[in-house]
Amino acid sequence: MRFRYAHAAHPDWSVAVASCVAQFQEQARDERTVRSANLGFLYISDGLVQHADEILETLRARTGVPSWVGATGIGICATGTEYVNEPAIAVMLAKFAPGQVNVFSGTQRPPALGARTESGADAAFTALVHADPAAIDMPDLVKDMAGRVASGYVFGGLASSRAEGGRCVLIADRVLTGGLSGVVFASDVGLASRVSQGVFPFGTRAIRTGQHRVTRAQQNVIVELDNRSALDVLLEDAGIRERLATQTAASDGVPRLLAAQERTRLQELGRRGLFVGIEPELADGYRERTPRSDYVVRHVVALDPRARSVSIAAPVELNQMLSFCTRDENAARRDLIRVCSELREHLHERGEAAGAPVEARGAIYVSCVGRGCHMFGEQSEELRVIQSQLGDVPLVGFYANGEIGGSNLYGFTGVLTVFY
């Protein structure tokens, strides 16, 4: 049965909650929606972060749902709608069989890897993860959490907020701060998850084209790619037509500085967005969920025209594969449509295997704070793209400080997960 969902915006948190409860009551008249829900997903915009406790407890009392997970976001979203710069909440009520879901946090341990449910399913197969962006070593925490589930795949994102002090909260049966929390799903929960990129390699829409191997680096400084200076490779990939081979002045042997045209073009790229896409480690089962090549995005933070090097916002290792990337609205739109198409095809294949139609029950969408109207042009356009592809599937989610998919921490992506 389809999950029930509701969303509302109002400066008075109690009015927003009352509106959501009324929507649930209206949906209860539809026999195709769940009864006796036992898990709630709750996303709260940063304008209501100070009322998170009241919102959670009121929803628990009014709906009777015992277990809750969620987070705060600079923006939150629901089917076909995003809320940015206004106090709002988005809520979804779901029902799962006993043992299929387990809420976890720093005070609630998830099922151990290898544990089984009464039906014989893996109790810890995948997980929805919400994280505090202030936590240190976040990429390592995400990898550690992925190692605690049998699929090696987790999904979710880092909370975001513009509240005083950047205060973010997480929800895992109560309001929390710090670390990771969320809900672990057993292997017999039907769900499929995909990652949609928001930046793309220069001059291409294919992930593997334009890739280079790191052949010399120090910490976060890329010195050489494919045994050539990293800056020259960047200039070539970006289509900047100045002579690219490193030149030296005849008098003092000092490598040449950037030509004026090169500086101008690079400044234009900087305004548009200049990044590297690094090929990530892939856990077992990851290919099944994101079956094409993939990459994690990090900012280019500095260029050194003397050393001909490129510095990025992440450590670099020898032999890593990477591509230079920039924002691309049209490609991002196509990739989001690609993600939705793959999910539709997944449901179709499941239906053929089962001998009966398989329909989406609900969805969670976690998108980067740099996407939304910043990338798709109009508020809610990103959500309308999903709605146009999947239909009126109940969906809630938030705009994150970093997105989680597989065992990786992403940027500028959208992570779409559908329950069926």
Please give the average per-residue pLDDT across 393-417, as a whole number.
96
The secondary structure of the chain in percent helix, strand, coil, rounded to multiples of 5, reads 25, 35, 40
At 313-334, the pLDDT tens digits run: 999 999 999 999 988 888 899 9
Instruction: Retrieve residue 86's tokens.
Output: 């206004």
219 class by beta-carbon count within 10 Å (0-12 exposed, 13-18 middle, 19+ buried): exposed
User: Of 85-94, 197-206, 228-237, 276-285, which has the strongest mean pLDDT?
Assistant: 85-94
d(CA 11, CA 24): 21
Please give the average per-residue pLDDT across 1-27, as a whole number.
98
Q: Which amino acid is at 297?
A: V
d(CA 318, CA 113): 32
**Number of other residues whose CB lies within 10 A of the CB of residue 307:** 14
In this predicted structure, the answer to whether residue 262 has a pLDDT above a threshold of 50 is: yes
Average pLDDT over the chain reads 90
d(CA 231, CA 309): 5
Going by their DSSP bridges, the two strands 180-185 and 101-104 should be labelled as antiparallel
Please give the average per-residue pLDDT across 124-132, as a whole number.
98
Strand partners, 175: 171
d(CA 189, CA 194): 16
User: What is residue 268's predicted lDDT score, i.e. its pLDDT?
Assistant: 79
Q: What is the DSSP letter of 20?
A: H
Measured between alpha carbons, how far is residue 291 from residues 120, 163, 187, 192, 240 in Å? 27, 38, 19, 12, 33
Do 183 and 92 form a contact (C-beta atoms < 8 A)?
no
In this predicted structure, the answer to whether residue 257 has a pLDDT above a threshold of 90 is: no
Please give the average per-residue pLDDT across 376-392, as a whole number.
95
Task: Supply the DSSP string of 66-125, one letter for each residue.
Answer: -EEEEEEESEEEETTEEEESS-EEEEEEE---TTSEEEEBTTBPPPPTT-B-TTS-BSSS
**Torsion on CA atoms 144, 327, 44, 395, rounded to nearest 10:** -90
d(CA 283, CA 145): 12
Q: Which amino acid is at 334?
A: R
In this predicted structure, the answer to whether residue 241 has a pLDDT above a threshold of 80 is: no
Residue (of 333, 341, 336, 344) closest to 365 by Cα position: 336
**Number of other residues whose CB lies within 10 A of the CB of residue 215:** 15
Residue 16, φ and ψ in degrees, nearest 5: -60, -45
Q: Is 362 helix (H, G, I), strand (E, B) or coil?
A: strand
Which position has the token pair 């490609």?
331
Which position has the token pair 């029930």?
4
User: What is residue 327's predicted lDDT score, i.e. its pLDDT?
Assistant: 85
Q: What is the DSSP letter of 255?
A: B
The pTM of this model reads: 0.88
Residue (of 144, 168, 412, 377) closest to 277 by Cα position: 412
Q: Which residue has the higher pLDDT, 248 or 121?
A: 121
User: What is residue 244's predicted lDDT score, i.e. its pLDDT?
Assistant: 40
User: What is residue 203's predicted lDDT score, i.e. its pLDDT?
Assistant: 61
Measured between alpha carbons, how far is residue 196 from residues 17, 186, 324, 365 in Å? 31, 24, 17, 11
Q: Is 193 helix (H, G, I), strand (E, B) or coil?
A: strand
Measured between alpha carbons, how far is residue 93 from residues 116, 201, 396 in Å? 25, 39, 10
d(CA 413, CA 338): 13
In this predicted structure, the answer to whether residue 291 has a pLDDT above a threshold of 80 is: no
At 37-84, the pLDDT tens digits run: 999 999 999 999 999 999 999 999 999 999 999 999 999 999 999 999
